[in-house]
Structure 1
Amino acid sequence: MRRDIHSRRSVLAVTASCVLASASAASVVGDTARSDAGTVSRASFVVREGTPEETTVYVTTADAEGPTAVVVGGIHGNEVAGYTAAGRIADWPIDAGTLVVIPAANAVAIERGTRTDDDGNNLNRQFPEGEPPGTELAGAIWDVITEYDPDVVVDLHESTGIYAGDPMDGVGQAIFHGESDAAADTAAAVADAVTRNFVDDPELEFRPGPFSSPESDPTGLLVHKAARDLGADAFLAETLSTGVELETRVRWHTAIVDRLLAGELLLEDAGDGSPPENRDDAEPSEPVDDGTDDEGQTGESPTARITTAPELGSDTTLEPGQTVTLDASQSSDPDGELVRYEWRLGDTGSFDETGETIDVTISATGDHPVALRVVDDDGAADVDRLTLSTDC
């Protein structure tokens, strides 16, 4: 059983006269942390670096052998829940194998808030089966996937309509799967579990559905190519993007991925379908709350919020060596109290700083992520992030 973790990302652009950096950790591309099954290593790298399509790939590897999974979000820039959920999944611990996450696959479309890029390309039509990808970005993403040769691929999307057996009417609230009986059974089981645990409105129940055949539209989808060219168990998850709060849609996506990865043995038993917490520095013997009370009712999650002193904005100028205070006091818990404030400095590693406030001294240029995790007295957690971006 796992606590639900929510997170948000924000960016503070800080312009300095020359040298600025994050506190006790500069930009980190690899680190190790502890999960229940042992140590995990975390690393990240950039594809399409130096172009508007530049995006980061996050890799978590457990010391226990196991399968490899790839999770992708943001292929369409107007499908917010998919790339928001993928950003959270990039932080998950795993118990075995390797988890590769590309949260913002189509950075240009995300920036535009559109389905396509500046040239009108739909990225999810650029992966023809048996042929090279159709664009440089598609090629870079496919190179990552073939490099890791995953056992399972999960692509997160949204739709303005609900799937009822005909993709032309909308594909929301669906989990699409490859041709194998095992994939079909898994998709059906996950759709049922997520519906039972997380969906109140019966009209919004999740349904499984098969991929379209190679001769039928739509074609060129990433998951189709992964299933048919690599033999991966591939799944495409769709939530309804209209009339449902973003946080609810994100929760659906994370619960779907949690169930799929539990089925692939990267995670321990999924229990009630709740997504895993980020247990980087939790004691192995620490009891884990599943976020429900004694009667099985889900409690309200806390909200993490980072503020800074001085208050930073896009036009803020910091002097080299200046110290910024990161403040978690605006965080809250609607049905209890916060018992821990934990900080992570750098883009990987553990939440190894504690306290309601911490001071960060800036000393080098670059992008320096900061994450705050708050935990309440019921064991539920929330994460907020910001990035201190510095430029000469």
Structure 2
Amino acid sequence: MRRDTLSRRSLLAATAGCTLISTSVASVVGNTAQNDGEGVNRDSILVREGTDEETTVSVTTGGADGPTAVVVGGMHGNEVAGYAAAGRIADLTIDAGTLVTVPEANAVAIERGTRNDDEGTNLNRQFPEGETPDTRLARELWDVVSESDPDILIDLHESTGIYAGDPADGVGQAIFHSSGDEAADAATDAADFVTRNHVDDPALAFQTGPFSKPDTDPAGLLAHKAARDLDADGFLAETLSTGVELETRVQWHTAIVERLLEDELLLDADDGSPSEEPVDEEPADPEPEPEEPVDDGADGDESPEAESPIARIGTRPASATETVLEPGQTVTLDASKSRDPDGELVAYEWCVGADGSFEAAGETIEVTIGANGDHPVALRVVDDDGSTDIDRITLSANC
């Protein structure tokens, strides 16, 4: 990536990890600096120490000069694979440069298991470009990022829908990137590599797409601000949060990060596969959605394995899962985006509340929020083979 900028940042990478962060917003955890015997130093730094928002930043410095990378997880508390993978990435051994990792950026939302914090604040909308971040937590996290001055920033997320060119339908299984051919090529290379080596279902192949333009929604994203205010190569990786085992999603996130950082921090590829030349891609045009798999049985005497249905919950208003609702407000839950790859859906079953009972039925239902707090919703779809899938969201209310 941007090798012409590395000489300035290499001097920063060679310093002790604690000097990367302003002591006005964070403190080094006592006696955490370690050397693993191979020239790799590790430090831990606390952000928002002593508050409910307290979280740990890991700083790993390699034995040779190199670029600086920042990896962030847990901006949203219900996107488990992102912060689980970031925790693993914090333990990586690097040969060069500096790796700054924030595994659990939004500790309050992670504790709650919800997208937003207890005041309904979406942390990943608090980073306006060219301006000071909007909340105390966002400001202190931004100080960590800006004083690290990264060459590359990767933010790990999850989505309940698969990206197919329209973010309104979901952004899962996608790597979004900042402008410029190098970032676009790196995203394409990582998407192809992870799909080829770690994805069994063609319908879950990773796509790529450009960041939204400045002054358009969604706005206030950390990765956007890092790319535009700091000239970093920015990436936002999204996995599908439903219908896939957590360990698989964590593996996808980890492989994406390792591929993006392989040349930057001199990481070793973990599977021995030869690297391919990156594919040129127009930044404005995401790759098309892959076709459904075709049965190519040679003799026709072996039945293909039945594919499971895919449950998807949509809401009207569309922002119902991202904003705090008012008690008494009615939300329409819509299952029309659910599908069965090799058949048809025969039932839509809804569980509203925490009792676990799927008592409501229908492709759409209406839910009236009756009290403050979180209201979990689950959709179970059944196909004509009797297979099922479940999607979940949380509606939050506060007067």
TM-score (norm 1): 0.61
Partner of 1:96: 96
Q: Identify if the C-alpha distance between structure 1 residues 273 and 157 changes in structure 2 by more than 3 Å, giving closer, same or farther.
A: farther
Q: 5 Å matches for 1:165-176?
A: 165-176=165-176
Partner of 2:183: 183
Distance 2:157 2:44 in 1: 23
Would you say the 8 A contact 2:47–2:57 is kept in 1? yes
From 16, 30, 35, the equivalent of 1:32 is 35
Distance 1:230 1:273 in 2: 33
Partner of 1:337: none
- Tell me whether 1:52 sits opposite 2:52 in the alignment: yes
Distance 1:172 1:273 in 2: 25
Distance 1:130 1:273 in 2: 41
Partner of 1:372: none
SS in 1 for 2:111: helix
Q: Identify if the C-alpha distance between structure 1 residues 219 and 273 changes in structure 2 by more than 3 Å, giving closer, same or farther.
A: farther
Partner of 2:129: 129
Q: 5 Å matches for 1:175-324?
A: 175-269=175-269, 272=272
Tell me the amino acid that sits aligned with residue 183 of structure 2: A
Tell me the amino acid that sits aligned with residue 151 of structure 1: D
Would you say the 8 A contact 1:79–1:241 is kept in 2? yes
Distance 1:198 1:205 in 2: 10
Deviations 1:261-318 (A, max 9, x none): 01324423565579xxxxxxxxxxxxxxxxxxxxxxxxxxxxxxxxxxxxxxxxxxxx
Partner of 2:4: none
Task: Identify which of structures 1 and 2 has the higher relative contact order when contacts are C-alpha pairs closer than 8 Å and 6+ apart.
Answer: 1
Would you say the 8 A contact 1:259–1:270 is kept in 2? no
| Structure exhibiting the larger radius of gyration computed from Cα positions | 2
Distance 2:150 2:237 in 1: 17
Give unmatched runs, 5+ long, in structure 2.
1-28, 275-399
SS in 2 for 1:39: coil
Tell me the amino acid that sits aligned with residue 229 of structure 2: D
Would you say the 8 A contact 2:94–2:265 is kept in 1? no
Would you say the 8 A contact 2:98–2:265 is kept in 1? no
SS in 2 for 1:66: strand
Would you say the 8 A contact 1:258–1:273 is kept in 2? no
Tell me the amino acid that sits aligned with residue 124 of structure 1: N
Give unmatched runs, 5+ long, in structure 1.
1-25, 275-392
TM-score (norm 2): 0.60
Partner of 2:363: none
Distance 1:168 1:273 in 2: 35
Q: Superposition RMSD on alpha carbons, in Å?
A: 1.6
SS in 1 for 2:36: strand
Distance 2:35 2:194 in 1: 31
Q: 1:63 deviation in Å?
A: 1.7
Would you say the 8 A contact 2:226–2:232 is kept in 1? yes
Tell me the amino acid that sits aligned with residue 139 of structure 1: R
Distance 2:246 2:270 in 1: 23
Q: 1:147 deviation in Å?
A: 1.2
